[in-house]
Structure 1
Amino acid sequence: MPIDTKLGYVKYDKDQLLDQVKQYFITNFGSDINLDDGSNAGAIANILAEVEDTIDSIGQGIRDSGLLLKSTGQAIDDIGANEGIYRKIATNSSVTLLITAYINPNSPVIIDPDNGEYSTADGQIFRITDDVTISQQATTSNGQPMVDDDGNPLGQVTVTAVSEDTGASQNVAPNSIVNAEQSVDGFYSVTNPDKAQGGIDVETDDKLKARIMANRQAKPNGTQDGLTTAIKNIPDVKDARVVTNTSNQADAFGNPAYSIHAYVLGGQPNEIAQAIYDNVALDTNFAGSKSGNATDVSGKQYSIAYDAAPQALIYIKVAVKADATSFNNDYGIQQIKDSINQYFDGLSMGDSVNFTKLFSPIYAVSGVNDAEISMGRDSASNVQPNQSITVNNMEVPVVANIDVEVN
C-alpha cells in the first residue's frame, strides 16, 4: 500500500511495483521460478504490476480530490460547491459602436439586431442590442455638417453591441470593429471608438483555488478583507479593492468619515451594490461616483455608491521589421494590435506594464522579425522607447491607442 504514516500517500512507480510482485512470486513459488519478461510467470507479473499501478493511481486521485491544493478540474468545483463558491463562467464582451450612414429624408436608415452584426478583421462578430434609426445629418467635432468625400450628407448614431462569442479575446481594441456582416441600404461605416470590455474566460483551476482559499481566510463579512472577498465572488467581477476610512474626518483620498470606498473591475452595478449591502452596516457612508441598487428582504431598495477601477490609459507605439513573404499586409497590423490587446486583458488592478512582456505577443504574429516598443501614460505625446508603466493599487492598465509602423 502506498500509504506512509510520515509522508502520506507515496505512490510507487511501475518498476517498484514489478519488483514487489516478482518478490511475491519468489516467496510463494521458490527462487528458481523464471520471471523473465518472455516467460509465462514474468508476463503475469507485469500484468499484475500494471493493475496495481492503475489501482494506486485511482487511489491517489480519490485522495487528492479532497485536498484543495492537490485537486484538479471537477474536484475543485466540488470542493468549492460545498463552500458555496462556484467557478466563474466565460462571459460576452460589450462595446459601443459608432455607425455612420447616408441621410435620405424620405427613407431613414433603420438597423436592428437582425441585420446589425459587425465584425473585426479577424472575424470577431458583435451584434447590436437595440434598433437604431439614422435620419439626421451629424456634425463634425468643429461643428461642420458631416459629409462624405463627394459632399453627400452623413448621420451617426451610437449603440451598444455584444460579442457573439465569449472570453477575454472578445475585448477587442479600439477602432477594430470595422466590417458590416449584413448589407443595409445607406450604410457608410462602423467603428468602436473605445475598447470592448466585459469578456472573461472560464475561471482557471489556479484562480478558483485562490478564491476558495481567500473565502476561507476572509469569509464575506463587514471587514475590509471580507467585503473584498464578497465582491470578488460576483461572477463577472475580475478584481476588487476596498478602502475603509475609520476616522471621524476625510482621509487623504477625500473619502468621508467612517466610509467604505469599493473599487471594482467588471461586474454589474446592482450586483455590486447587493454584495456591499449584504456585508456591511446600513448606516455606513459609501463613497464613489457610480452606484447600484440593493434590495432588502422586504423589497425596499437602497442606493450604494462605489467606483469602477480607475483606468490607467496606456499609449503604445510599435515599430516592426517584417518579412514581406510571410507578413500579412492586409491583417498583420491588426493582428499585432489584437495580440497586444489580449495581453492587457490578462492584467488586473495594480499590475504594472513591463515593455519587455510585449515582445512575446508581437513576435507571435507571423512575419515579425524585429520590434521596438514605446509606451507612455495619458497622452500619445508621452511615449518613450523601452519605457515600462507603473500603476497604483487601484488602477487597471488599459490600452488607449496602439500605433503600429511596419518596415
Structure 2
Amino acid sequence: MKRTYTFLFSLLSLAAYSQTSATLKAEADKKAESLEKKVIAWRRDIHEHPELGNHETRTAELIAKHLQALGITVKTGVAKTGVVGLLKGGKPGPVVALRADMDALPVIERVNIPFASKVKTTYNGNEVGVMHACGHDSHVAMLMGVAEVLAGMKNQLHGTVKFIFQPAEEGPPQGEEGGAELMVKEGVLENPKVDAIFGLHINSQTEVGKIAYRPGGTMASSNDMRITVKGRSAHGAYPWSSIDPIVVSAQIINALQTIVSRNLNVTENGAVVTIGSIHGGNRSNIIPEQVVMDGTLRALSTEDEKMLISRVKEIATKTAEAMGATATVQIPVTTHYPVTYNDPALTAKMLPTLQSTAGKENVLLRQAVTGAEDFSFYEQKVPGLFIFLGGMPKGQDPAKAPSHHTPDFYIDESGFTLGVKALCNLTIDYLESKK
C-alpha cells in the first residue's frame, strides 16, 4: 500500500509540475512577444556601436543600467568589462546561468543597413573597422529581453537565475587575459554555485524559426600552434652547404596531413590540422637559417585533442631531426578553447522544452562543427547546453548566405523572439523540474 501511495504522489507531483511549468512558459512567451521591438532596438544600437574584446565599456554600461532598472543585483567589471546579474526567485531552488557574449570583430561592415557600423579603432597596432560580424549584438539584446521577462515573474520562480554578459569571446587583445576562461577564474560560477548553464548562438545559415542542437561534442577544441624549424643558411647556388629549413618545413607540412587520415578514427569524430602561414627567407638566392609556421588544431573530443598535440610534436621534431635540422613546437601559443561539450543527460532532459517552444519539426539535430566557442570553459565546470538559433531569412539558400566573421554577415531580426522564448523556457523548466 505504501508503494502505491508513493507512486500516486509521484504522479500528482509530476502533473502539478507540468501544469505550473506550462502556465509560467505561456506567461513568458506572451511577454517575450511584447518585447520584440525593444529587443530589436537594443540590437541595432549595439550593432551601430560595436566594441572589441575587453573594451566593451559602452555595451556593459547599457546592460548594467537595464538590469538595475529591473531590480536585479548587478556586478560590473568582471573579467575586465563583464556584467553579471543575479535574480533570486521567490521560492528556493537551483541556480541556472544564462550567457551572452558582447564583443565585436575587426571587420569593416559592407551590409547596407541604416544601423551599419562606421566605427574604426586600433587592433594589434593597425587601424581597423569594427563590426558585429558574428551576432554577439543579438545575443546581448536577447538576454536583456530574457532578464526583463524573468524579472517580471521572479516571485513565481523556484530558484535563482544568473545572467552572464561576457567580454572577449573572440579572444582578448594580445598579452591580456579575457573571455569565459577569465570569468570562470574570477568565480562567475560560484556564490551562488551554478547548477546548469544555457547559451545560444545566432546562425546566419540556419533558417529563422529553427533551433539546432547536438549532444556531446558540438564545437571543436581550438589550439593555435607555432613550429619553428632551424637549419643552416647557405648561398642558394650551393644548397649542399645548407640544412635547408624550407625543405624540412615542406616535409613536416606533408607529414602533418597524415594525422587526420591515419591516426584519427574518422568514424567517430572529425579533426583539423591546418598550417595557415609560413615565413622564411628574404631573397631568392639565400637559403635561410629559420622557418616559422603558424597553424591551428581542431578536435571534437578531449582524447583526440591530446592525440593531435602529441602527434604534431612528434612528427615535427622527428622529421626535422631526420634531416639534420631542429624543430620546436608551441601548442598553444596564445589560444586554447576546450571542446564545447553539451552534457548528454541535460540535453536529453531539455530537448522537449526546445521542441515545445519552436515546434518539434523546427528543432534540428545538427552535425558537429570545427568552429570553436569559449562557452566550453563553463561546460568544463557545470553541465551545459549550447544551442544554435536560426538567423537566415526564410527561403534563402544556406550555401549563399554570408557566413560569420565576414563583412557581409547578415541576421534576420524576426528570429530574436524565439531566442528569448527558448532561454526563458529552458530556465523555467529546469527550475521547476528541481523544485
Which TM-score applies when normalising by structure 1?
0.28
Identify the structure with bigger relative contact order (alpha carbons < 8 Å, sequence gap 6+).
2
Between Structure 1 and Structure 2, which shows a larger proportion of helix residues?
2
Normalising by the residue count of structure 2, what TM-score does the alignment of the two structures yield?
Answer: 0.27
Larger Rg over CA atoms: 1
